Structure 1
Amino acid sequence: MPDDFNTETRRGNCMKIGASVASYTTTWDDISAAIETLETGRWDSVWFPDHFIPPSAWKGAENEPIYEAWTLVSAVAGMTEKLRLGHLVSGNTYRNPALVAKMATTIDQVSRGRFTLSVGAAWLKREHEAYGWVYPSMRERQDRFEEACALIRALFTAGGQPVDFQGRYYSLDSAPLSPGSVQEPHIPIMVGGLGERRTLRTLARYGDVWNLDGFAMGREDARRLGGMSMGLYNRKVSVIEKHCEDAGRDPGEISHTVFMPTMLTDDRSEADEFIERVGPGTVAGSAGYIIERIGEFAEAGVVEIMLAPRPSDAESLQRLDEEVVAAFS
């Protein structure tokens, strides 16, 4: 696993901080300006959502502009030299996993070893309806996701040798993956999600990095465990450890990251409105409050926080850089 996700070397003030940049209801000029701000600032990584219709489409935004996430990461790889690159997260149902593995190693080559493959089962039904893609049941999506992760890991760890794979949904017939990744031993596989029975089990079996997704947090979980809290984090960590035990794997091999919807504001009513609108996994408030929350996760061993500021324009990112990210540089 690359040093970027090495738990032993990323503690306290060494916490890495990345940003999720919106790929919808925006323009390429705005995205480019945001990337320039991140690249020249204190930020460590940039991440894009993987959607074809804005997730807020139920609010009337279905026809708003949206950019394809893998194409964006490819473009950003050529615009940057230091930022680590990835998605939060890439939906499995949108692309064949063997193709995903090939695209991942290509981007890793182009970026000279800066790509993280972050994957999830996919959830937005309307996207599938709009583009004629099959939207399986939750159970089948989880089955497909686990099988896809197994296939991708088999390709990543084959050392350039052809791979045979026969699953229920996906197969390989002496399939090569060349060139491989720049990173050694392979591109990190990040699994995003909170599902205790299936998602975290897939992580324990095939993942290198876990991403706790604040956007995915349900209100019931939030009421019971206190929103984006250490209680929630510790609960999920205990589940991961149990799945690792069942898989015969050392849980220390899996590093932990947090995707944190964020609003920097000194206006309490504005913060409360944002939390109500976006969801209970949100961290909204003053710079001091956000720094304190990040610090809690740093002390618990989280190696990276991906802030999802609203808005994610260059001006907002610059302010976060100066008032929040600087505290961890």
Structure 2
Amino acid sequence: MRPIIQISGLTKSYKSGFQALKGVNLDIRAGEIFALLGPNGAGKTTLISIVCGIVRPSGGRVVADGHDIITQWRAARSLIGLVPQELTTDAFETVWATVRFSRGLFGRPRNDAHIERILRDLSLWEKKDSKIMTLSGGMKRRVMIAKALAHDPRILFLDEPTAGVDVELRRDMWNMIRQLRDTGVTIILTTHYIEEAEEMADRIGVIRGGEIILVEEKAELMRKLGRKQLTLQLVEPLAAIPPALAAYPLEIAAGGAELVYTYDTRAERTGITRLLTDLAAAGIRFRDLATEQSSLEDIFVGLLQERS
């Protein structure tokens, strides 16, 4: 898949000496949902702000669908929509007026049918004549998304889009984001909700201390870095691991009533088969078994701990 955003050697330093970004290189593919994860202060919002033309980089280059964001800024920005982390809009304007005004800011001709379609898709049509100040936090968040979509962007940045949103509305937004992706819109998502990235993303990027430390397909990341545990409930308790099983990463749990085998997902097929054969040879019987796989959150925390 071709990259729709190409980031090369991107840096950002401030007069205080703080270096927010340190030579970031990153390609975002057209039509994907890309989740950018990282702790507070990692550089996520700075990176997004530079691509969207809000912050000027200290060095490096960003190209959006073939347009340099500095030398061809008008063409680049017309392709990009941004839903910021903060809810910033005119409290005294109506929903309809503020969304239509956002389209005009990009020089796009008036298209009331398009604005109506966006508001209906976001369940805002019944609120179109309501002032922003009268809306709930979740509805205001939807208005921010509507404003970002008003000019038909092909690239959409969502900076913590579901912060402070209830679970039901979060699920609605996930469905809406998938629908946008299905129409060809490229989605770049930052989030503190790891399950959000696990649910929706095609690829995962992790940023820490202004540097990209990992970019990987979500499924491949969980396959390579995920861990599984096999817990065997024993017929007779064990006091110690038999010498014949010393080569396996086994632990005794529940006062000897359980045997826990932790393994890499890459070794799943052969490792478990050998273990069960060797358990039988050692005369160890079990009445039940259960497996548990590490989540994306477990992998994310592990990555940060490895590089701390």
TM-score (normalizing by structure 1)? 0.30
Higher RCO by CA contacts (8 Å cutoff, separation 6 or greater): 1
More helix by percentage: 1
Q: With structure 2 as the length reference, what TM-score do the two structures score?
A: 0.32
Q: Which has the larger radius of gyration?
A: 2
